[in-house]
Amino acid sequence: MNATLYDASVPVFRQMLDALADLLHKGESHARERGLDPDAMLAARLAPDMLTLVGQVQRA
């Protein structure tokens, strides 16, 4: 049986993107519990030369 590149890579990408989705949902819940605007969090940067959270997620 030959393993394809698809079989070797797509499950890993799916697992990581699912984990990212879970983290984003937790972040949204946290922001709402604290009374923060989740949309403002999406525009946030940890450093001035860093992409926004939206930019980081788009690259992922």
The pLDDT tens digits of the residues spanning 1-57 come to 688 999 999 999 999 999 999 999 999 999 999 999 999 989 999 999 999 999 999
Rounded CA separation 41/26 (Å)? 12
Residue 3 pLDDT = 85
Residue 29 pLDDT = 95
Residue 54 pLDDT = 94
Structurally, the chain folds into a number of domains equal to 1
Range of the domain at 19: 5-59
Residue 52 pLDDT = 95
Nearest one of 44, 41, 11, 13 to 26, comparing CA atoms: 41
